[in-house]
Amino acid sequence: MNILLQMPGHAVEPWHAAFVSALPEAAISVWPEGRAIPDYAIVWKPPAELFTRFRPAKAIFNLGAGVDSLLAVPTLPADVPVIRLEDAGMAEQMCEYVTYAVLRAYREMDSYATQQRAGRWQQRERLAKREFGVGLLGFGVLAHAVAAALAPFDFPLRGWSRQRRVAPGIQTFAGAEELPAFLAHSRVLVCLLPSTPDTRGLLGRATLERLPRGAHVINTSRGDIVVDEALLALLESGHLAGAVLDVFNTEPLPPDHPFWHHPRIVVTPHVSAATLVADSVAQVAAKIRRFEQGQPVTGVVDRARGY
Ligand code: NDP
Ligand code: OXD
């Protein structure tokens, strides 16, 4: 079995070592070396040249949960299955990040930080929990884990997806027609949608205005789902109270971007859930073995939907 491995930058060595140890029967080349027709390509943000030089025969594995950058590669072969990472150690990290951001909003830590800077001792009235709905925009693998992590805190939880999902204790909404009802009671909106032709720019002014006054936005999936100008305008008008942003339209976030110094925006550099070597290699290796045995694998991307 021949495998082509590609990772951008200098990060490839630990991945190569882990794949060699997980799949000792395979010949694993590291881009830009390799055989013309590898059985599998394992990639993250590959250059277009990769698929003109190497045409994987069986499958392409994406070393991330989101496939937007891979699907945008113009040379990506149309008829080779693309398989993404599912959780692979990312769900736990996402739970930590989102739980922190939700509690930070609910316990008004921004306001206490402002009071501290002013040397003001003032106890704020506790917000009513039943009015502090947390809306998970995108209710897939990561959002389900986040919902389970938030459940003990007793916020009203709601989830929005394309198809209707059923989850105990969570109010679920499906499709564009139910989006306004979903937004209306989401005091915190957590964006866990993939970036697709249907979701890019979804969080523009008209959508964000449907959130209750004083709402917070947490975006940990992809920056291009949010319209930056709309978010800034609604923070300025007071309709939105704050935002915690891990992902951006342009990454790294440009030095002159207004998000950097905005008093009610927290910026982190795409760190909410890192791709972990051991978990990811174990998942991909297990799927390659299933593939070789002719068994079905999960995480196959539907190219028409874009995720
Ligand atoms: P999933 O594919 O499991 O979940 C995606 C969810 O979004 C599904 O519930 C899906 O609906 C819903 N969805 C997609 N399109 C629409 C639409 N047009 N309207 C309504 N709902 C829609 O993905 P994951 O949970 O694994 O990951 C989510 C995203 O998180 C990734 O795509 C990636 O971009 C991002 N990510 C970011 C990381 C970071 O470090 N910042 C790390 C890992 C992932 P349905 O259930 O009906 O299919
Ligand atoms: C991913 C990411 O999609 O890290 O996995 O952003």
CB 66 within 8 A of CB 87: no
194 and 82 within one domain = no
Is the CB–ligand 2 distance for residue 135 below 6 Å? no
Q: How far is the CA of 195 from the centre of ligand 1 (A)?
A: 8
What is the domain extent for residue 283?
2-88+275-305
108 and 70 within one domain = no
Q: What is the residue whose two structure tokens read 């609604």?
A: 234
Q: How far is the CA of 266 from the centre of ligand 1 (A)?
A: 22
Is the CB–ligand 1 distance for residue 301 below 6 Å? no
Overall number of domains in the chain: 2
Nearest CA to ligand 1 atom 35: 221
36 and 123 within one domain = no
**Separation between Cα atoms, residue 53 and residue 69, nearest integer Å:** 19
Name the closest ligand to CA 272: 1
Q: What is the residue whose two structure tokens read 């990811």?
A: 280
Structure-token pair, residue 130: 């039943």
pLDDT in single tens digits along all 307 residues of the chain: 999 999 987 789 999 999 999 999 999 999 999 888 999 999 999 999 999 999 999 999 999 999 999 999 999 999 999 999 999 999 999 999 999 999 999 999 999 999 999 999 999 999 999 999 999 999 999 999 999 999 999 999 999 999 999 999 999 999 999 999 999 999 999 999 999 999 999 999 999 999 999 999 999 999 999 999 999 999 999 999 999 999 999 999 999 999 999 999 999 999 999 999 999 999 999 999 999 999 999 999 999 999 9
Kind plus residue range of the DSSP H or E element containing 205: helix 205-208
What is the DSSP secondary-structure string of 105-131? HHTTHHHHHHHHHTT---PPPPPPGGG
CATH number for the domain that contains residue 158? 3.40.50.720
227 and 101 within one domain = yes
Is 270 labeled as catalytic in the residue annotation?
A: yes
**Buried/exposed 208-243: b ≥16 CB within 10 Å, e otherwise:** bbbbbeebbbbbbbbbbbbbbebbbebbeeebbbbb
223 and 154 within one domain = yes
| Ligand 1 atom with least separation from CA of 159 | 9
CB 191 within 8 A of CB 143: no
Nearest CA to ligand 2 atom 5: 64
Kind plus residue range of the DSSP H or E element containing 287: helix 277-292
